[in-house]
Amino acid sequence: MTQGLSDLDTGPGPLSHRLDTVALAESTADVEQPYAELGLANDEYARIRDILGRRPTTAELAMYSVMWSEHCSYKSSKVHLRRFGDLPPSEHLLVGIGENAGVVDVGDGYAVTFKVESHNHPSYVEPYQGAATGVGGIVRDILTMGARPVAVMDSLRFGRADAPDTARVLPGVVAGVGGYGNCLGLPNVGGELLFDECYAGNPLVNALCVGVMRHEDVRLAKAEGVGNRVVLFGARTGGDGIGGVSVLASETFDQEGPAKRPSVQVGDPFTEKLLIEACLEIFAQDLVTGIQDLGGAGLSCATSELASAGTGGMHVDLDRVPLRDSTLTPAEILMSESQERMCAIVEPAKVDAFLAVCRKWDVLATVIGEVTAGDRLTVDWHGERIVDVPPRTVAHEGPVYERPMRRPAELDALQADDPAALPRPATPEELTAHWLAVVASPDGADKTWVTEQYDRYVRGNTVLAQPDDAGVVRIDEESHRGIALALDGNARFARLDPYAGAQLNLAEAYRNVAVTGARPLAVTNCLNFGSPEEPEVMWQFAEAVRGLADACRDLGLPVTGGNVSLYNQTGDVAINPTPVIGVLGVHDDVRDRVPTGWRAAGETVLLLGETRPEFGGSAWASVVHGHLGGRPPAVDLEAERALGQLLGALGREGLVTSAHDLADGGLAQALTESALRYGTGATLRLAADVFTALFSESGARAVVTTADPEAVRTTAEWAGVAVTELGTTGGDVLAVEGVGELPLAELRAAWTATLPALFGSPEVTVGSVPAGTVPTS
Amino acid sequence: MRIGVITFPGSLDDVDAARAVRLAGAEPVALWHADHDLRDVDAVVLPGGFSYGDYLRAGAIAARAPLMQDVVDRARQGMPVLGICNGFQVLCEAGLLPGALTRNSHLHFRNRDQRLRIERADTAWTSAYTSGQEIVVPVKNGEGRYVAAPDELERLEGEGRVAVRYVGGNPNGSLRDVAGVTSEDGRVVGLMPHPEHAVEDLTGPSTDGLGFFTSVLKAVVAA
């Protein structure tokens, strides 16, 4: 891929051993250029020639090719994503879609910025570095807004848990997420881990970061003020990640073709930690007028976006960029996705102070250019002009496609395949067996194998983390103000109905935030789909966006930004549509947070919300019958809102001791997790139809415990939420009428054994290893 | 009472250590690795993290920071020093504590709430506990496996230099379940677990860790 570029700069042919300058491009209009290998379509290349009035130089071609890639330009998704921008304005939204991340007012002068980003393709090619740099990238996005990053989350999906390739990819991804986040000092407070055959060859690695700042500290990515300096700081530029966005993230994997490993970036979290501290000190001293991180498309992206969002003019002397590899060509430098780099716009009078802060933190910083009058982005290489473009055409006015869409022909048959026809457990023994199968399935099982590899304590503000339903982080030690975050994305529902599926995912994340007692405030998303060139995939995408936008309008929540990952498919097999939705909530006082686990005996267990016989896309149908069909559960956003308000009120008034959202695996899963959290059982009587009570996945439900059931009933009546008494906590069994007694020890054994059995048990014997023994595990 | 918390490049739990110092009733004082200035502190905490990205060996580069010369000099004169996790690694690399910390035997980073037994309740950092007392604080490390030569281990056990031991499961393969050790004079203590993460009910598994920070107040007053 990069071969084509190198050929042009240094290889044989009419341009051999000559730098491809603007002057040369003007005089050699007919040179053949490797635009197709760089991922540009014929008409896109023609448009570049049209914009420039000549052929692009090699460096310009590199810039356009990465910036017009699907990953950077959103060319297939843009027309649909406008629905999010069209939502009614929210009083809480300080900065909306378009910047590196949206910013939300959470009260007392605090602002929070949060975003999810995918690093799917790199994580398949090189699991550890792919996942690690995914965390690094999203953290820089948050930092760029002026915020101190305070926590991360990760939403992971792999092929079948017992597939050999999953054993290759998963441990590396988990170690990469942990290795980078732990070393940055950011607590990992939650996420998802799910398995499905559709992700074989296309694992999904979505990372979220959240940051906190004061309102007045918000920074934007634009270059203003003629004469202001362009400063590149952080790591040196190397040959890693060249073409990451165009080669990896914007194409479908196929069986043939060269290894794409060199397109994956290599992360250095230590440098990023220094970059974070240096940036925060730079912000505190008010030393920048604009700032942008270098992620996908590297310098091409940072310079063109800064210039485009500003007054338009910028000049860069590319030979000033510090390199790790002195043989890199100018085009490669422009495309490199080397990590841990930032670009700032600094007034000349503040440059010395800026460089001093960087020196203190051992961060390399170099003035590489300045903001110029006019509206051209120009780049020189040892005094020769190699780029002269209108930056808006690179960054913001790329191609936009209205791709053809078609409802998948198979959908009618899929929806008609109703799980009502599946054999149901009839005896207590069968009910017990299905219960254990669901909670011991890789999706339902205890995730400690993963979360033990993540630091959840660092910074000392983690109030709730996995396995609780949402991460809760204190942001002020005096006022106890805090935030709650959840990430959810049920792809089975989205496969059966992408419109409803996206809404159900939003509802689940909303519920997960609400059960902690938080007030949901804002939404972000990471939309993982197959190839947009397939009309069926495009239809799924459009439906999911429409569903999410409609649901946000109904719940009064703004979408603060998001990320789209397309081409998640191998050959013509696409992943299930996977819209992962993040919801941010606020706690006025985190001391009121409600955990998921039962602690005390003698408390009343109540089910909030109504249960209908809904099994389409359920964990039960999938685990027990390997079945995916029918309709997903009905969406009832009014009921979700009522439940959310009720949970908030119960939390504030201290009326409940625990609350757990009902989702995948229904009540069976929720009871298991609540009981095992602190080892407290319960004696329960469910509805007459025990099977439906246990395994239905109807939305708008939660199970709570309370010492004052009457007060909960009264509050629920006010909120319009149905309440069903299930029983009383206590003992070391879950005793359920019609099912029998499930000893917690047996339940725990089933629930905890799955992941260690699949991915290795990192246990150490008590009494320790003899001296001199070589570690073997 | 002024207790310094050193920030090296890559220190992560410095804010946590400072909070623990404050909650214990002392004044946390930020110390910078590159300064030769201990700012009149009465004791020093080396916090957890990944100083210098764990490059070379965990703690090896930080142990050679300018400020560490001052810390070593003052420690030899009896100033209390506590090294937590990466701070423990730094103290071993600086020669203030015996032994070394190597890659966990299972090769994973591990974060869990860990039971510990206080073996020595007469050091500058553990006097708030009773000997044999069990506490629960988080452990989180990738290179936390304590090792020493067999005869040195025997000597340390004989001298009662094992200050804290893992119980109910060894999280990293440390020899003799050693979680923390002390200097001969009991003024310098290093441990892999994180007492500073167990100082508030809201955010920790317990408040058992606070004792390390209240202990030193008495030690300084008595000195």
The average pLDDT across A228-257 equals: 75
Q: According to the annotation, is A255 in a ligand binding site?
A: no
pTM: 0.94
Cβ of A182 and B147 within 8 Å?
no
Q: According to the annotation, is A401 in a ligand binding site?
A: no
The residue of chain A with its CA nearest to that of B15 is: A459
Which chain A residues in 468-507 lie under 8 Å from chain B, judged by CB atoms?
A: 474, 477
Interchain contact B98–A (C-beta under 8 A): no
Interchain contact A461–B (C-beta under 8 A): yes
- A549-592 pLDDT tens trace: 999 999 999 999 999 999 999 988 999 999 999 999 999 999 99
Counting one residue from chain A and one from chain B, the pairs whose CB atoms sit within 8 A come to: 135
pLDDT at A242: 80
pLDDT above 60 (res A1): no
Domain membership flag for residue A307: yes
Q: How many CA atoms lie within 13 A of A412 on its CB side?
A: 3
Domain membership flag for residue A315: yes
Taking contacts as CB-CB distances below 8 angstroms, the residues of chain B near A590 are 202
Give chain B's domains with CATH numbers. 2-222 (3.40.50.880)
Torsion, CA A442, CA A443, CA A446, CA A449, rounded to 10:
60
Domain membership flag for residue A100: no
pLDDT at A252: 61
Cβ of B140 and A591 within 8 Å?
no
| Contacts of the segment A256-265: beta carbons below 8 A, 24+ positions apart | A258/A1, A259/A125, A260/A125, A261/A125, A261/A126, A262/A2, A263/A1, A263/A122, A263/A125, A264/A122, A264/A125, A264/A126, A264/A129, A264/A130, A264/A133, A264/A240, A265/A122, A265/A129, A265/A133, A265/A240, A265/A241, A265/A337, A265/A338, A265/A339
Domain membership flag for residue A306: yes
Q: According to the annotation, is A33 in a ligand binding site?
A: no
**Residue A157, C-beta contacts closer than 8 angstroms, at least 6 positions apart:** A192, A193, A194, A195, A196, A199, A203, A204, A491, A578
Cβ of B171 and A764 within 8 Å?
yes
Domain-ending residue, one of A367, A398, A429:
A398
**Residue in A175, A460, A764 closest to B16 by CB:** A460
Contact A152, A190 (CB under 8 A): no
Angstrom distances, CA of residue B27 to CA of A262, B57, B74, B214: 50, 32, 19, 12
Q: Positive or negative CA dihedral for B145, B172, B5, B126?
A: negative
- A129-155 pLDDT tens trace: 999 999 999 999 999 999 999 999 999
Angstrom distances, CA of residue A233 to CA of A344, A350, A429, B206: 8, 15, 64, 42
- A696-718 pLDDT tens trace: 999 999 999 999 999 999 999 99
pLDDT above 50 (res A772): no
Interchain contact B172–A (C-beta under 8 A): yes
Domain membership flag for residue A708: yes
The average pLDDT across A212-232 equals: 94
Taking contacts as CB-CB distances below 8 angstroms, the residues of chain A near B175 are 768-769, 771
* Pairing, β A482-488 against β A204-214: unpaired
DSSP, residue by residue, A68-114: TSHHHH-TTTHHHHHHHHTSPP-TTEEE-BTBSS-EEEEETTEEEEE
The CA-based angle A147-A148-A154, given to 5 degrees, is: 100
Closest approach of A447 to chain B, Cα-based (Å): 13
A570 in helix, strand or coil?
strand
Q: Positive or negative CA dihedral for B50, B51, B56, B60?
A: negative
**Residue in B52, B112, B142 closest to A270 by CB:** B52
Q: What is the mean pLDDT of chain A?
A: 93
Beta bridge partners of residue A366, listed in sequence order: A232
Interchain contact B47–A (C-beta under 8 A): no
Does residue B196 carry a catalytic annotation? Answer: yes
**Residue A729, C-beta contacts closer than 8 angstroms, at least 6 positions apart:** A598, A600, A601, A602, A603, A604, A605, A680, A681, A682, A705
* Pairing, β B2-7 against β B145-147: unpaired
Closest approach of B71 to chain A, Cα-based (Å): 21
DSSP, residue by residue, B174-190: -GGGEEEEE-TTS-EEE
Which amino acid is residue A652, in one-letter code? Answer: R
Residue A534 main-chain phi, psi, to 5 deg: -100, 120
Contact A314, A223 (CB under 8 A): yes
Interchain contact B110–A (C-beta under 8 A): yes
- B37-68 pLDDT tens trace: 999 999 999 999 999 999 999 999 999 999 99
- A293-349 pLDDT tens trace: 998 889 999 999 999 999 889 999 999 999 999 999 999 999 999 999 999 999 999
pLDDT above 90 (res A228): yes
Interchain contact B208–A (C-beta under 8 A): no
What CATH number should be reported for the domain holding residue A736? 3.90.650.10
* Pairing, β A377-381 against β A314-317: parallel
pLDDT at A241: 76
Q: According to the annotation, is A141 in a ligand binding site?
A: yes
The average pLDDT across A356-363 equals: 98
Angstrom distances, CA of residue A138 to CA of A191, A452, A523: 15, 22, 16
pLDDT above 50 (res A463): yes
Name the pLDDT band for A100 (thresholds 50, 70, 90): confident
pLDDT above 70 (res A777): no
Which chain A residues in 428-457 lie under 8 Å from chain B, judged by CB atoms?
A: 451-457
Closest approach of A269 to chain B, Cα-based (Å): 7
The domain total for chain A is 2
- How far is residue A103's CA from residue A101's CA, in Å, rounded to a whole number? 7
Q: Residue A529: enclosing H or E segment and its boundaries?
A: none
The average pLDDT across A239-245 equals: 74
Contact A59, A330 (CB under 8 A): yes
Contact A502, A84 (CB under 8 A): no
The residue of chain B with its CA nearest to that of A363 is: B9
- How far is residue A530's CA from residue A567's CA, in Å, rounded to a whole number? 5
Taking contacts as CB-CB distances below 8 angstroms, the residues of chain A near B179 are none
**Residue in A269, A274, A591 closest to B202 by CB:** A591
Q: According to the annotation, is A625 in a ligand binding site?
A: no
Contact B109, B141 (CB under 8 A): yes
Percent of chain A surpassing pLDDT 90:
88
Task: Estimate to the nearest angstrom the gap between the alpha carbon of A557 and the chain centroid.
Answer: 19
Domain membership flag for residue A624: yes
pLDDT above 60 (res A767): no
Q: Considering only residues B137 and A220, tell me which one the structure prediction assigns the higher pLDDT.
A: B137
The average pLDDT across B176-186 equals: 98
Contact A394, A304 (CB under 8 A): yes
Interchain contact A172–B (C-beta under 8 A): no
ipTM associated with this complex: 0.97
Say which DSSP state A248 is in. I
Helical segments of A145-268, H only: 164-184
Its domain, for residue A700, covers: 439-445+594-761
Instruction: Give me the count of residues in chain B.
Output: 223
Closest approach of A539 to chain B, Cα-based (Å): 42
Question: Which of A181, A173, A197 has its CA nearest to residue A124?
Answer: A173
**Residue in B16, B109, B148 closest to A459 by CB:** B16
Contact A617, A496 (CB under 8 A): yes
Domain membership flag for residue A521: no
Question: Which of A777, A578, A757 has its CA nearest to residue A162?
Answer: A757
What are the b/e assignments for A359-371, b being 16+ CB within 10 Å?
eebebebbbbbbb
Q: According to the annotation, is A265 in a ligand binding site?
A: yes
The CA-based angle B180-B181-B182, given to 5 degrees, is: 135
- How far is residue A678's CA from residue A597's CA, in Å, rounded to a whole number? 6
Cβ of B9 and A183 within 8 Å?
no
Domain membership flag for residue A536: no
Helical segments of A515-574, H only: 535-555
Q: According to the annotation, is A568 in a ligand binding site?
A: no
- How far is residue B23's CA from residue A224's CA, in Å, rounded to a whole number? 46
Does residue B33 carry a catalytic annotation? Answer: no
Which chain A residues in 743-762 lie under 8 Å from chain B, judged by CB atoms?
A: 762
Domain-ending residue, one of A340, A375, A398:
A398
Q: According to the annotation, is A77 in a ligand binding site?
A: no
Q: Pick the catalytic residue: A80, A92, A119, A660?
A: A119
A634 in helix, strand or coil?
coil
pLDDT above 70 (res B120): yes
- How far is residue B94's CA from residue B88's CA, in Å, rounded to a whole number? 10
